[in-house]
Copies of this chain bind each other. A is one copy, B any other.
């Protein structure tokens, strides 16, 4: 079992990704795809006059401030467009993909963080009406039901709160939780860089290998969204996933290349 997460940034080669998924599926590989939607959400939000707002937590993690209007834009862009266009590409290639958000069938359950602490201009502030959360439980029964029936699940990073509310969750950490819950041997996090860079954005400084015991030492190298990927990788490994590979989503055969060791391999 391989869980692949593809980022929602600009420059992702979705055609190449889907072609690679089709090849691997035909070879009998069991796969789950988790995707992002940040670029589509930003574009939609700008066009609708509700521009995105990114905030930084006291521990240095960046995330989208998700008020209710933003949540609904996120549902449209991510569960509506990105999810269905990926499913369409896969269906076109003969892969019986099924697109779901984590809200559907409570596939991903999380805790809402309605009030978040952020750092802005060096000061700590509190934001309310936030619709983000952290995945705490994966409904493996539903995923296994679909996998055993021959479907390839394509999952949008939305979770259900205890009260059934939709929550914007981090896709990398959601993929990590899914990989751990399914007992996946490999988690691949694809993004628009070749992996963890020692001197971002210089791609010649790619870190090729990280022993799992040393992962904390590499956290300071991670910039922006890469921090959550390292955190997700760390969470997945701690819960029994065999290896995590940070790979490049802009190239042909991105999954096959990651499996061959291109990118940052954490074992």
Contact = CB atoms under 8 A, between A and B. Distances in A.
Listed residue (A75, A146, A166) with the most chain B CB atoms within 10 angstroms of its CB: A75
Nearest to A88: B166
A222 B97 CA distance: 38
Contact of A77 (B48, B76, B99): B76
Nearest to A145: B149
B84 A103 contact: yes
Contact of A164 (B75, B79, B92, B151): B92
Interface string A123-148: 00000000000000000011001100
A19 interface: no
Given A98-B104, A104-B87, A81 B75 contact: yes
Given A80-B77, A99-B104, A164-B88, A149 B142 contact: yes
Q: Which of A90, A93, A101 gathers most chain B CB within 10 Å?
A: A101
Copies in the complex: 2
Interface residues of A, number: 44
B149 A93 contact: no
A20 interface: no
A88 B100 contact: no
A93 B164 CA distance: 8
A44 interface: yes
A163 interface: yes
A72 B103 CA distance: 21
Q: Which 10 A-B pairs have the closest CB atoms?
A: A80-B80, A91-B164, A92-B164, A76-B80, A76-B76, A98-B105, A98-B104, A75-B84, A88-B166, A99-B104
Interface of A: 44, 47-48, 72, 75-81, 83-85, 87-94, 96-101, 103-106, 141-142, 145-146, 149, 151, 158, 160, 163-166
